[in-house]
Structure 1
Amino acid sequence: MSLSSVVLFHNMVAPYRHALFREIARHLPLRVLYATRVTADRKWAADIPSDYESEVLRSATVYAFSRPLTVCANLPERLQRLQPQAIISVLTRSNAIDVLRVSRWANRHRVPLILWVGDIDNESWGHDEVPGLLSRAFAWLYGRILRRASGFICYSDRSVDWLRARGVQGPTITGTQVFDPPPLGPRVCEEEQGGRFRLLFVGKHEARKGLENLMQALHRLPNALQQQLSLTTAGDGPLARHLADNCPPPIQLRMLGFLPRNAISEEYRRADALIVPSLHDPWANVINEAMALGTPVIASRQCGGCELARTTGWIVDASDPQSIADGIERAMAEARSASLRHSTLQAEALYRPADAAKRIARFVETLCMPVDAPAGAAA
C-alpha cells in the first residue's frame, strides 16, 4: 500500500532519534511534529537535521513534582492541515494530554494510530512525592489512549509486558531502540589484569537510577575487590553528593559531571563494564552506547534493554544490593576477555536504524491496509 502522508508526533527533540527518523523517511512520507524543542530536565542538543521533514509546534510546558507536562496549542489544527493517513505517536507522561487529543482526532477521522510506548513510569519504584490521585489520573488517561490505538511500537520486552498488564492485545513490534555506529572505534583487545577494574555509571544521579542500592552493593564487596575497583560516573543530579560521601574509600572514585554524548564515548571505550542499576527505565540508551564500543553491561532486570545487555553481560535485581554486588563480582572476573568484548560488539550491531526503519514501515503499512485487502498487499 502506498501512503501519501504519515505524521510522527514526538514529545521533544531527542538527538538519539534522528538516525531512525531519517531511515523511516526513506520508506514512508514522514513528517515529524515535535511538541517542544527541549525541557529543563534534559541537557542534550536540540538541533534538528535537515534529512527528514519536521517542525516544532507552539507549546507550553509546566512542571509538577519535578516532571514536565507539555501541551501544544495548535496540534489538532496541524493534523487537520496535514491530513495524515497514519499517525505514530510516542506516549510519555510529558505529552499524554496531547496524545489523548491525537487519539481523538485519529478516531474521528478513522486514521490508524500507532503508539510508540515504553514501560511508562507509574511510580511503582517509589516516587513518593507524586500523589496517588495524580498517578491514578494518568493511569486512566493511558487507558483511554491505549484503547484507541491500532498497534504498538514497543521499546522493549518490558513494554510489551506493560501493555499486556493493561489488557492490551493489539499487534506489536519491538527492537526499535537503535543507533548509528559510534564514530570512535571499539576496544576489543585482551585487558591486562594488573590495573584496577574500571566500572562506569552514566546517567542522572537520582533515585530512579538505583544509585542508593549501588552504594550499598559496593559496601558489600569484599575489601580485596574494593581495592581492585575504580568507579567513574558521568552525569549530575541530587544524589551526586550522596555518592561522593558514601562510596567505600578503597574504591577509586572519579566523578566527571555532565558530559555531552560525543565526549562520553572515550569513557565507554575505556571502561571494563558499564553498570545500569535502574529501578525503572523504559530503555537505557547507555546499554547500546557502551556495547557499541565493546563494553559489556551489568543491567537490572527492571530496566528496558536488559534483553540486549544479557546477551553478553550480567542481569541483577535493582532492588537487591546483594544481587548488584554479585553482578559486579562476576563482571570483575569475566569482563576483560577479548572474546567477550567481541561478542558484545556483535550483539549490539544488530540494533541499527536501517533494519528497524524497514520493520516499522512494513508495520505501519500493514495497519493501514483495508480490512478486506489480500494478506500480501503491503509487501
Structure 2
Amino acid sequence: MPRCSVALLLNIVPPYRVALLQALEREVRWLTVLVSTGMEADRSWKTDWRGLDVRVSRSLTLPYRRRHPDGFGENLSTHLSIDMLPRLCALAPDVVISSEFGARTLQACLYRCLAPLLGRRSRFLVWATLSEDSERGRGWVRTTLRRLMAKRADGAMTNGESGARYLESIGFAPERIFRIHQSTDLDRFANLDTSGRSVSDDEKTLQLVTVGSLIPRKGLRPFLQHLIAWCAAHPGRALNWRLIGDGPERAALEALVLPPNLKLTLLGDVAYEDVPALMADADLLAFPTLADEWGLVVNEAMAAGLPVLASCRAQAAEEMVTDKENGWLFDPADPTSTETALSQALDTPAAARIAMGDAARQTAARFSHENTLRRMMQAIETVWNQ
C-alpha cells in the first residue's frame, strides 16, 4: 500500500510516547500531531517534542469532578478543542487517529463524514485508551455520543481485552477493534545498576516502590493500612515504601501513624528521566490502583526487572502479570485478596523474587514500542484498504 499521511489528535504528547511517535513518523508519509494543550497543569513533565510536527489547537479547558461508582472522586479537566475540524480540512490527512471520545474526536468524526463531499478519501480511527473499570459510571449522554461515533468510525485501537469488551458494548464490531498495548521505551531501563537490590533472605529492609499521582483513585491509603497491619503482625521484618509522585493524598498519608518497622518515603514529583534510577534498588513494585485504563508503570517496573504486586483493576496487570510467575495479583476492593497477595509477595524468598524479576523483564520485552508500532501500522493499513 502507498504510505499514508496521518493526523494524530491527542490531549498532550506525554514523554513516554515520544519515541513511539518518532518511530510512527518514519513509517508514514507524514505525521502531524494536533494537541489540545502543550502540557496539562497537573503534570510535572516538561514539554519535549523532539522534532515531531506538533501543533497546539485552540481549546477551552474546563475543570470538573467525577465520582466513580466505587466511591472515590477525581478532579479532572476536559479540553474542548474548537478548531480541530478546520485544521483537519486544511491538512487533508489520509488517516485520522483521535484519542478518547470527546469534542476532539467528534470533530474527527465530522471530518470523516465531510471528506467524501470534499472529494477526499479519508479513514478515522479512535484511539480508545480505556478499560471497563475506568469507564464504569459514565453518563447516558456521553455513552450515546460514543455510540454515534462508533457507527461512523472505521475502527478503534484499544489497550487490551477489557478495552475491547467495552468497545463492543458501545457498538464497535469485533473485527474493527485493534488491540494495541501501551508500551514504554525499554532502552531507558537497559543499563540499570541493580546491585543494591536485596539478594539474601536475611535482608533488613524490603524496598517497595510506587510511581504515580497521590490521588484517591490510586488506592494508596487503603494499601498503606494493609502494610501497617502486616508490619504490626511481623515486628521482626522491616519495609520501606517509596512513593514517587505528588498530589492531594500526601497530607493524609503523612498523617497516618506507622509502626516502627514501616517507613514511608515520599519523594514528590521526579523528572521523568530520573525514574528508572529510583527503581534500580527496589525489590518490587506496588500498584494498588482502584481503576486504571492501563498503568504504564507496570511496563516500566517490569523493564527494570521488578516483580509487580498489582491491582487487577489495572489493564496492564490483566495483560502483563501472571500470578506468582512475574508478580502477584489482587483486588483492592477485597481485603482478603489484598492481604493474601501482600503476604505472598513479602514472604517470597529473595532468590525467587529476583527470578520473578527476570521473568518480568522478559514480559516487558514483548510490550515494546516496536510491537506497538507494528500493530498500529496494521490498524492503519487495514482501515485504509477497506
TM-score tier after normalising by the smaller chain length? 0.7 to 0.9
2:145 and 2:349 map into 1 onto residues whose CA distance is 44
Instruction: Answer yes or no: is the 8 Å Cα contact 1:15–1:44 preserved in 2.
Output: yes
1:167 and 1:360 map into 2 onto residues whose CA distance is 21
Instruction: Answer yes or no: is the 8 Å Cα contact 1:268–1:290 preserved in 2.
Output: yes
Return the match for 2:339 from 304, 318, 325: 325
- Secondary structure of 2:315's counterpart equals coil
Return the match for 1:309 from 313, 321, 335: 321
Return the match for 2:167 from 145, 163, 169: 163
Distance 1:164 1:261, change over 3 A: same
Superposition deviation, residue 121 in structure 1 = 8.1
Percent sequence identity over matched residues?
26
2:103 and 2:288 map into 1 onto residues whose CA distance is 30
- 2:72 is aligned to none
Instruction: Answer yes or no: is the 8 Å Cα contact 1:153–1:176 preserved in 2.
Output: no
Q: Alpha-carbon deviations, 1:105-129, whole Å to 9, x = none? A: 112325321111122688777xxxx
1:101 and 1:209 map into 2 onto residues whose CA distance is 32
Number of residue pairs aligned between Structure 1 and Structure 2? 359
- 2:71 is aligned to none
Corresponding letter in the other structure for 1:137: V
Distance 1:235 1:222, change over 3 A: closer
Superposition deviation, residue 40 in structure 1 = 1.4
Superposition deviation, residue 335 in structure 1 = 6.7
Instruction: Answer yes or no: is the 8 Å Cα contact 2:151–2:171 preserved in 1.
Output: no
- Secondary structure of 1:229's counterpart equals strand
- 1:275 is aligned to 286
1:60 and 1:120 map into 2 onto residues whose CA distance is 26
Superposition deviation, residue 245 in structure 1 = 2.0
- 2:239 is aligned to 229
1:107 is the counterpart of 2:113: yes
Distance 1:161 1:220, change over 3 A: farther
1:364 and 1:219 map into 2 onto residues whose CA distance is 49
Superposition deviation, residue 135 in structure 1 = 3.0
1:246 and 1:121 map into 2 onto residues whose CA distance is 32
1:262 and 1:34 map into 2 onto residues whose CA distance is 22
The CA RMSD over aligned residues, in Å, is 2.3
Superposition deviation, residue 228 in structure 1 = 2.3
- 1:241 is aligned to 251
1:165 and 1:299 map into 2 onto residues whose CA distance is 26
2:135 and 2:90 map into 1 onto residues whose CA distance is 40
2:16 and 2:268 map into 1 onto residues whose CA distance is 20
- 1:49 is aligned to 50
Superposition deviation, residue 336 in structure 1 = 3.0
- 1:375 is aligned to none
- Superposition pairs of residues 1-379 of structure 1, within 5 angstroms: 1-29=1-29, 30-50=31-51, 52-65=52-65, 66-91=75-100, 96-110=102-116, 111-119=122-130, 135-170=139-174, 171-184=176-189, 185-186=191-192, 187=194, 191-193=199-201, 194-221=203-230, 223-225=232-234, 227-246=237-256, 248-250=258-260, 251-306=262-317, 307-310=319-322, 312-334=326-348, 336-337=350-351, 338-370=354-386
Q: Which runs of 5 or more structure 2 residues have no equivalent in the other structure? A: 66-74, 117-121
- 1:128 is aligned to none
Q: After the TM superposition, which of the residue ranges 216-225 and 72-81 deviates more from structure 2?
A: 216-225
Instruction: Answer yes or no: is the 8 Å Cα contact 2:132–2:165 preserved in 1.
Output: no
TM-score (norm 2): 0.86
Q: Alpha-carbon deviations, 1:120-160, whole Å to 9, x = none? A: 688777xxxxxx8x833322222222222211211222211
Q: After the TM superposition, which of the residue ranges 264-273 and 180-189 deviates more from structure 2?
A: 180-189
Superposition deviation, residue 49 in structure 1 = 0.9
Superposition deviation, residue 13 in structure 1 = 2.0
Q: After the TM superposition, which of the residue ranges 273-282 and 255-264 deviates more from structure 2?
A: 255-264
Superposition deviation, residue 25 in structure 1 = 1.4
Instruction: Answer yes or no: is the 8 Å Cα contact 1:24–1:358 preserved in 2.
Output: no
TM-score (norm 1): 0.87
Q: After the TM superposition, which of the residue ranges 149-158 and 187-196 deviates more from structure 2?
A: 187-196
1:182 and 1:352 map into 2 onto residues whose CA distance is 10
Corresponding letter in the other structure for 2:166: W
Q: After the TM superposition, which of the residue ranges 314-323 and 134-143 deviates more from structure 2?
A: 134-143
2:131 and 2:312 map into 1 onto residues whose CA distance is 15
Superposition deviation, residue 301 in structure 1 = 0.9
Distance 1:41 1:139, change over 3 A: farther
Q: After the TM superposition, which of the residue ranges 64-73 and 271-280 deviates more from structure 2?
A: 64-73
Distance 1:328 1:99, change over 3 A: same
Structure 1 or 2: more helix by fraction: 2
- Secondary structure of 2:26's counterpart equals coil
- Secondary structure of 1:109's counterpart equals helix
1:206 and 1:247 map into 2 onto residues whose CA distance is 19
